[in-house]
Amino acid sequence: MNICIIGTGYVGLVTGTVFAELGNDAVCVDKVEEKIEKLNKNEMPIYEPGLEELVTRNRKEGRLTFTTDLKSAVQGAEIIFICVNTPTSDNGDSNLSYVKAAAEEIGQSMNGYKIIVNKSTVPVGTGDMVYDIVSQHYNNSHDFDVVSNPEFLREGSAVDDALNPDRIIIGAPTKQVAFRLLELYSSLEAPMIITDVYSAEIIKYASNAFLSTKISFINAIANLCEKVGADVEDVAKGIGRDPRIGQAFLNPGLGFGGSCFPKDIKSLVYTSQKFGYDFELLKNVLEINEERVAHFFGMIKSRFPNLEGKTFAVLGLSFKPNTDDMREAKSIEIIKKLTAEKAVVRVFDPVAMPAAKKLIDSVTFCASAYEACSSADAMVLITEWREFKQLNLEKIKNSMKTAVIFDGRNIYDPSRKEKMGFEYYSVGRGKWPKSS
């Protein structure tokens, strides 16, 4: 099938590439010329495992092209995916200006029947909005349909998630339109759920909101565990064995960041309010999440009441492992708190340092975790990259000024670290530091 993808961010680029990989002709459009130029040289705008290889292969085989020419891309396609970003302001209101602009241009470019698909995460009712805008700009205004087909891919495993989705949701005005879109996915083995457009739009938000609720729930339990001296990891294991609860997304720590959860939860609260429902539960989820950094920093302060001149090795900068994405990364907040109190901060991240350099100053960027920890008063682990689990901690201990670890993601075993001679502090596992 001939498809056109508007927007080459995470969702757009991965979607276009994966559809090309499945044998379709995919044309990806972006307004940013520099991005398109780079993509045409197989240079990726983001770090995403497996993506570069797939883009290179599908370009070479002629199924994947990149352009700034939206009009001809739309005219040559039967299915058009809108994958532009939808930033959320602090009050949760989604900025749909990019979606509106895309709909307008699609309307102006239409040359026959098309299925227009909202893949961006957009508030309920956006399908109607896109329909209205396209109609205003297209004379033959009934010759198209608008569908919601939300994307659930995670950064760091986006290609794999897109090739192996756990479900495909199609919110369409009629079954016939839904089936046409399903043909695109026919080679994937995944349950397909057909709904009306509004329900599909809500499914995406409800999924992210539910997962965020799990994270805040386990973080609240972690707080209780610290108070009573229990171990939140054991509690998570104990409750996660119940298949109705499940083990995923019960990792306590610094809470959720990234480009999706914080903005999507705010947006769902805002949209609910708009329709007359006060979503208190999700407000609490956000509050618990926002307290995580202050709580963790409190732990550091209990051990080091005066941070001035103390050296901290911050390991991990991206909002989660396997990505260089720094959006809503907890590292930024923690580093700000440390440097505000005149601590010396040395940082290392396996992938995100170039991105972090644009956002963080007053720190020393180190070439390795070992270099960052050398002569440090404490290690502060923020992102659970696999390589941090495999560090030679004996070597690190011997190079530190004081062997103290603050583990914001519970990646190490407390008793082992203590046996090694570390003062080890983590989240929701009883012991809080006493000031030295």
Q: How far is the CB of 187 from ligand UDX (least distance, A)?
A: 21
Which of residues 47, 205, 261, 296 is near ligand UDX by CB under 6 A?
Answer: 261
* Residue 394, burial from CB neighbour count under 10 angstroms (0-12, 13-18, 19+): exposed
Angle at which helix 126-137 crosses helix 97-109, to 10 degrees, equals 40
- Sign of the dihedral through C-alpha 416, 419, 424, 428: positive
What distance lies between CA 275 and its chain's CA centroid?
A: 27
- With respect to ligand UDX, which residue has the nearer C-beta, 40 or 224? 224
By CB under 6 A, the residues from 140 to 159 that bind ligand UDX are 151-155
Known catalytic residue at 260: yes
Our finding on whether 205 is near ligand UDX (CB under 6 A) is no
Our finding on whether 429 is near ligand UDX (CB under 6 A) is no
Q: Which stretch binds ligand UDX (CB under 6 A): 70-78, 98-106, 164-172, 258-266?
A: 258-266
Q: How far is the CB of 53 from ligand UDX (least distance, A)?
A: 20
Q: How far is the CB of 246 from ligand UDX (least distance, A)?
A: 11
- Sign of the dihedral through C-alpha 147, 153, 158, 160: negative
Q: Which residues contact 363 (CB under 8 A, 6 or more apart)?
A: 314, 335, 339, 345, 346, 347
- With respect to ligand UDX, which residue has the nearer C-beta, 27 or 200? 200
- With respect to ligand UDX, which residue has the nearer C-beta, 310 or 320? 320
Reference 151, options 120, 185, 194, 192; nearest CA is 120
Our finding on whether 319 is near ligand UDX (CB under 6 A) is yes
Our finding on whether 388 is near ligand UDX (CB under 6 A) is no
CA–CA distance, 329 with 332 (Å, rounded to integer)? 6
- With respect to ligand UDX, which residue has the nearer C-beta, 138 or 205? 205
Phi, psi of 310 (to 5 degrees): -80, 145
Residue 196 three-state SS: coil
What distance lies between CA 369 and its chain's CA centroid?
A: 24
Straight-line distance from the first to the last Cα atom of the chain, in angstroms, rounded to the nearest whole number = 67
Our finding on whether 200 is near ligand UDX (CB under 6 A) is no
- With respect to ligand UDX, which residue has the nearer C-beta, 54 or 218? 218
Our finding on whether 406 is near ligand UDX (CB under 6 A) is no
Q: Which stretch binds ligand UDX (CB under 6 A): 47-55, 107-115, 243-251, 300-308?
A: 243-251
Q: Which residues are catalytic?
A: 260
Q: Which residues bind ligand UDX (CB under 6 A)?
A: 151-155, 208, 211, 215, 249-251, 253, 255-258, 260-261, 319-320
